[in-house]
Chains A and B, each alone.
Chain A
Amino acid sequence: MKVRLLSVFRVLTTLGMLVTCQLSMAASPSMNFELPRLDGSAFIRLNDYAGRPVLLNFWGSECPPCVAELPLLFSQAQRHPGIQFLGIAVDPRATATRFLARMQPTYPQLIALTQPDVLMRRFGNKLGGLPYTVIVNGQHEICNSHLGEVDEKWLSSAIAACSGGAPAMSSKGANR
């Protein structure tokens, strides 16, 4: 059994090293994800919005700056139909659902269920802090990101920069 345990140890260690070597040789990982909608109706992939810039906002209901910036994001999503807004809750599903019942989200809300920090790390938030907003351009490369509460000025300039200068609109429904 001791030999077997040592073998398992060796296999795992070797596997870890192999994975490291493989990954170091691989190209940079593609920007994609596959997350369930908060209401459980479907999986949403970033690739579903191919060719379109996307704003991802990671939030939690126990995070005051996240709560504070949500009304701004909801209103800005309606003003910028050229960019797809997506909310990603890192709360338990029931908590996030209950919290959002008091608000009127204007864009799809997803939930990160397995390990949210892994997803955030992929999109440039190595710290795993909240709130975190990241905008990817039409090729789904990270264009701009912000750790902490966003303001209208940052949003406007970042969206303009990442969506090729598309003008803001006042129409509704583009992000539903």
Chain B
Amino acid sequence: MKSQMNLPPFASHIAWLGLCVSAPLAFPIWASAAEPPSALAQSRTDLPAGSNTTAPTLPPVVVTGRPSATVQGALREDIVKTETINAQEMAKTGATNLTELMSHRPGIDVQVECSVCNVRNITLNNLPGRFTTLMLDGVPIFSSVSNAYGLDMIGLNGLERVDIARGAGASLIAPESLGGTVNLVTKRPTRDGGEIDLSGGSYGFRRGTGYAAKTFDGGAVSFSGTLQNHNSVDGIGTGISQYAGYDRQLFGMGLFLDDVGGFKIKSRYDHIDEKRMGGPLGNDYDAVRSSTSGNPFDFSKGPHGSPDPNYWVNPSDGTLVGPYNDGRFGLSQTIFTKRDQFAGTAERTFGDTKLRFVLGYADHKQDSWYGGDADYFGKQKQYYLESSVQLPVASTLVTAGLTYRYEDLHSRSISKDPSSPTFGTQRTDADTYIYRTPGVFLQGYRTFFDKQLEVNASLRHDQNNVYGGITTPRLNMLWHHSDNVSSRFAAGQGYRFPTSFFELEHAILSAPAVDRSQAKPEKSNNLSYALNYADDRFAVTASVNHTTIKNLALFVDDTANSGNYLLQPARSNYTINNFDLVGTWQVTPRDSLTAGFERYQYKFNAADFQGSLFARPDYRVTLAFDHDAGPWDFNVRATYTGPQDLAKFYDYANSPRFNLDGTAKPNKSPGFWIMDLRTSYQMNKTLQIYAGVNNVFDYQQAKKDNFLWLDGQGNLDVTHIWGPRIGRTVVAGLKLSF
């Protein structure tokens, strides 16, 4: 393995970038001479219309905005999918951002990693959230920092759909993709219009969004903006939030040009500005910052609270620890984020050959105070370049491409922990990493048995400056048994180059740098099979998935010896097997019912993962009822989350957890239901009003089991997480469409 700073020569990167841009241009010359296979010609999505004709003068065909994962030709795409969430489904959930949209869906969920700062990741097949690769129009520009705090900031305005590929095998040419990919697809406006959505609700929730689209000859432009606020929430009276408050501003712009030198351009730019604070309540950041002594909290509240509001019990000897005297600031996590991102694609078709160029950019700044831990300023920059060519070779549609990923994290920090050896000392780049990853991929797509069987095989190789090279094969097969029945098999490997953003392990700031000399790329082996039946009123999918993660990255404190934190692979593998069954039935012309069941089996040696995992349930049940008639729309969503083996996931055997009164935390969490209701009424073609109640039964983890926990020596932590952080909330609003 190369050392981190031993970058490949600068010239070689420039050469690679040049290759990214120029290589595909060489293909059309000979590709245009190739005879297109008739099978492929008929399945092209951008063919001129006409019954199986290619006459260029006829009007174009538009691929429906609701492509399913099993439509014929689904595997032709660069990014395939196993599920799709369309605009209608987004509206029915009432979700305001990506994490809300992805919560409690069969096989998909959101994992909360910090009760006071709302770090949330998207989990696929219940794999750890950081293993999901997020893409914007196929461009991967999210990484360590943005995955921690950025996903809440991804609005749903102007999205056509969200495509999900569960499993590395299904993700084909996507880079990384250890557990799967989530791809946000921007809508290309087809007519002038706009939308204003204003809503308000519990806990100071206020939201205003605007979207405007203007079409013109040969293109379209769109603008979107969101202002959103939410108070921090404490459901048990400790004065410590279980749900972080925020003040969020989003602005976006899309530009779509149909013919620029023959290229079709799709691009979007987003600016994000968010302030969030958890721990103490309120949003007076300066007041919190200056509150550094005394005890504004009450540790006696909540289940198994301490006998004294100012102290908690040391589980080892029963004595009281305290009094707490660090003020509101001591437990605060205040995070200011500014992010600019751009994702653009340019595609041109020469006969049967398609060229594609991709450019992605993200500049993510985090200015934050982590109470008793550190003041932290981080800056992450990412670029992504891709060029590819797709052309028929004999009976196979071949896609070949080059990618270049550039990712830097730089930081400066000052420890606020008196027990840290670096207390009060400014550190520069304690968690920094500099990754340069050129990659190459090759994908082949072919149909057999009169298009009944589609096969897509791909191979990609990435050469990282720190971790060296990794090659990952992936295979996808889609079998159309009949018009109504299809099945899908995917097998493949995914990988991830471990990052070291300090949110993963706060203590790494106490060392000068992270030593990666023993680290390896995290690697997954994935196998999945799904059987799908659909008719006009009923659709059901059953699937089984197997994923094994090798070399899961862990931080090891070696400050006593080498002075550094080590990034090391786990000694053993982490395996998840799961089965899920999801069905939708159009019961009446106005009513549909969806039911899903997921069962999970986790195999890992808890001691080898040092408590770095988050608890996940053994099974889940999801139910949804939609009444959709005339101007009225009524939706019910309910999810039962089964028990979670807290003792195993949190490694109680080596690191037991205790309540503030010194008693042991429960080994298992209880199962619980979450139900959300939503209704809307279309008053006329312009105005819609809506209202919703989330978490109708007001189920909160904190009322059963506090997020706060103590280790065996009485040290306080905030990451005992298995259930909802916020109780029942009400929201109401209106939407104006033009």
Name the segment of B48-56, B136-144, B609-617 touching the other chain: B48-56
What bracket does the count of chain B residues touching chain A fall in?
35 or more
Distance to closest chain B CB from A19 (angstroms): 5
Q: Which residues of B contact A23 (CB under 8 A)?
A: 481-482, 485
Q: Is A71 an interface residue (CB 8 A)?
A: no
A167 within 8 A of B: no
CB pair B685–A101 under 8 Å, yes or no, is yes
Complex CA gap A12/B580 in Å reads: 12
A46-69 toward B: CB 8 Å interface, digit per residue (1/0)?
A: 000000000000001011111010
A128 at the A/B interface (Cβ < 8 Å)? yes
In the docked arrangement, what's the CA distance between A74 and B48, Å?
24
Write out the residue numbers on chain A whose beta carbons fall within 8 Å of the beta carbon of B579: 5, 8
Interface residue? A140 (CB, 8 A)? no
Q: Are A122 and B483 in contact (CB-based, < 8 A)?
A: yes
Cβ of A121 and Cβ of B682 under 8 Å apart? no
Whether B88 lies near A13 (C-beta < 8 A) is no
Query: A127 touching B66 by the CB < 8 A rule?
Result: no
Are B629's CB and A40's CB within 8 A? Answer: yes
Check A127 against B43 for contact (C-beta < 8 Å). yes
Q: Which chain A residues (70-89) contact chain B, with CB distance < 8 Å?
A: none
Interface digits, B37-58 against A, CB 8 Å rule (1 contact, 0 not)? 0000011010111111000001
Do A92 and B91 touch across chains, with their CB atoms under 8 A apart? yes
User: For the complex, what is the distance from the CA of A122 to the CA of B482, rounded to whole Å?
Assistant: 9
**Candidates B48, B71, B86; contact of A128 at CB < 8 Å:** B71
What is the bound-complex CA distance between A97 and B481, given in angstroms? 34
B332 to chain A, nearest CB (A): 43
Q: Are A127 and B45 in contact (CB under 8 A)?
A: yes
Q: Contact: A41 with B589, CB < 8 Å?
A: yes
- Would you call A146 and B49 a contact (CB within 8 A)? yes
A43 vs B591: C-alpha distance when bound (angstroms): 12
The answer to whether the Cβ of B716 comes within 8 Å of any Cβ in the partner chain is: no
Q: Which of A15, A60, A115 contacts B68 (CB 8 A)?
A: A115
User: Which residues of A lie under 8 Å from residue B737 when comparing CB positions?
Assistant: 98
Instruction: Verify B42–A65 contact, CB threshold 8 A.
Output: no
Contact yes or no, A60 B529, CB < 8 A: no
Task: Report A119-161 CB contacts with B as 1/0, cut-off 8 Å.
Answer: 1011000111111000000000000011111000000000000
Q: B535 at the A/B interface (Cβ < 8 Å)?
A: yes
| Contact A114 B601, beta carbon cutoff 8 Å | no
Q: Is B546 an interface residue (CB 8 A)?
A: yes
Chain A residues within an 8 Å CB radius of B692: none
In contact, B66 and A116 (Cβ under 8 angstroms): yes
> Is B394 at the interface (CB under 8 A from chain A)?
no
B562-598 interface with A by 8 A CB criterion: 577, 579, 584, 586, 588-590, 592
B484: interface (CB < 8 Å): yes
Distance in Å: Cβ of A42 to nearest Cβ of chain B:
6
At the interface with chain A, which of B121-129, B461-469, B536-544?
Answer: B536-544
**Which B456-503 residues have a C-beta within 8 angstroms of A?**
479, 481-485, 487
Please report which residues of chain A, range 13-30, place their CB below 8 angstroms from some CB of chain B when the two chains form the complex: 13, 15-16, 19-20, 23, 29
Tell me whether A90 and B484 are in contact (CB under 8 A): no
Determine the chain B residues whose CB is within 8 A of the CB of A126 once the complex forms.
42-43, 72-73, 451
Residue of chain A at shortest CB distance from B579? A8
Report if A117-B536 is in contact (Cβ < 8 Å); known contacts: A8-B579, A40-B589, A127-B42.
no
Known pairs A20-B481, A127-B43 / 5 extra A-B pairs, C-beta < 8 Å: A36-B588, A102-B685, A116-B64, A121-B72, A148-B48
In the complex, the 6 A-B pairs of residues with the closest C-beta atoms, listed nearest first: A148-B49, A92-B88, A36-B589, A129-B61, A40-B629, A63-B62
Residues of A within 8 A of B (CB): 1-2, 5, 8-9, 12-13, 15-16, 19-20, 23, 29, 33-37, 39-43, 60, 62-66, 68, 90-95, 97-98, 101-102, 112-119, 121-122, 126-131, 145-149
19 contacts between A and B (CB under 8 A): A16-B485, A20-B479, A23-B481, A29-B482, A37-B589, A64-B62, A91-B65, A92-B91, A93-B628, A94-B682, A97-B682, A114-B539, A117-B66, A118-B68, A128-B72, A130-B63, A130-B64, A145-B51, A147-B52
